[in-house]
């Protein structure tokens, strides 16, 4: 399904996954109100923004590759139904109906507090699911796109992962400076070109900046070189 291997589409799906994850882990936090925000208000709002943004990217990507027949057969009915449901949710009776009969107890307060972002993000995600299913079974999932995802480059991915592990192991045992030297050297091996002078320059600049910012400026209790400073 080449149409679903677009970089934009996969990026949008990634935003949706992040938004759903944020909602899942923040569902037990009280949302409060816009005037008196609870601990769950900002996380939920950020999750709604991620869901809406990701859905918009996915829908835009699918719409660009849709032909006229597909737009008339699937997009117009889905868009009309979405507008109708949103309008229904804005009516006081509709708001209470959705909160009491569709949503669980944990989401009722959040829905009544943040009705518009809740409904916009929820409807857009439902539209994404519906249109992807319709396109997969009844549309043209194999339409050629211009921004296909490239094969992963395992060398830089592996070396960056090793950098993170090395930094975690060396920071406490050897200090900030040795950890920075090691991760800059290993990360440089993941590039297409390796120039020793540039690598040394990066080490020096990064070491000076981190020392000035974290040790001198912020006064953090970290070791630059274990046992020396």
Residue 148, domain member (yes or no) = no
pLDDT tens digits, one per residue of 136-190: 777 665 555 554 555 566 777 788 888 888 888 887 778 888 888 888 888 888 7
Number of domains in the chain: 2
> Which range (14-23, 24-33, 172-181) has the least confidence?
24-33
User: What's the whole-number mean pLDDT along residues 201-219?
Assistant: 80
Q: How far apart are CA 162 and CA 20, in angstroms?
A: 29
Residues 41 and 134 grouped into a single domain: yes
CB 119 within 8 A of CB 89: yes
Residues 128 and 161 grouped into a single domain: no
CB 116 within 8 A of CB 42: no
Final residue of a domain: which of 108, 138, 168? 138
Residues 119 and 160 grouped into a single domain: no
Residues 36 and 125 grouped into a single domain: yes
- CA distances, 198 to each of 59, 63, 155, 184, 201 (Å): 43, 45, 20, 10, 5
What was the pLDDT predicted at 159? 81
pLDDT tens digits, one per residue of 70-117: 777 888 888 889 889 888 888 888 777 877 777 766 666 666 777 788
């Amino acid at each position: 399904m080449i149409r679903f291997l677009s970089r934009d589409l996969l990026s949008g799906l990634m935003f949706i996954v992040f938004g759903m994850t944020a909602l899942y882990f923040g569902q037990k936090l009280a949302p409060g109100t816009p005037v008196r925000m609870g601990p769950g208000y900002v996380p939920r709002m950020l999750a709604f923004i991620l869901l809406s943004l990701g859905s918009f990217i996915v829908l835009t990507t699918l719409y660009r590759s849709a032909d006229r027949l597909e737009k008339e057969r699937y997009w117009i009915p889905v868009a009309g139904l979405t507008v109708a449901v949103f309008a229904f949710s804005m009516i006081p009776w509709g708001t209470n109906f959705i909160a009491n009969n569709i949503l669980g107890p944990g989401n009722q307060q959040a829905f009544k507090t943040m009705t518009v972002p809740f409904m916009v993000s929820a409807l857009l995600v439902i539209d994404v699911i519906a249109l992807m299913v319709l396109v997969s079974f009844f549309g043209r999932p194999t339409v050629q796109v211009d921004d296909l995802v490239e094969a992963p480059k395992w060398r830089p991915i592996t070396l960056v992962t090793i950098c993170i592990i090395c930094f975690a192991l060396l920071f406490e045992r050897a200090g900030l400076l040795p950890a920075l030297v090691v991760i800059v050297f290993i990360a440089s091996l993941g590039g297409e070109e390796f120039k020793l002078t540039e690598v040394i320059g990066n080490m020096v600049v990064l070491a000076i900046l981190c020392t000035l910012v974290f040790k001198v400026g912020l006064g953090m209790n970290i070791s630059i070189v274990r046992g020396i400073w």
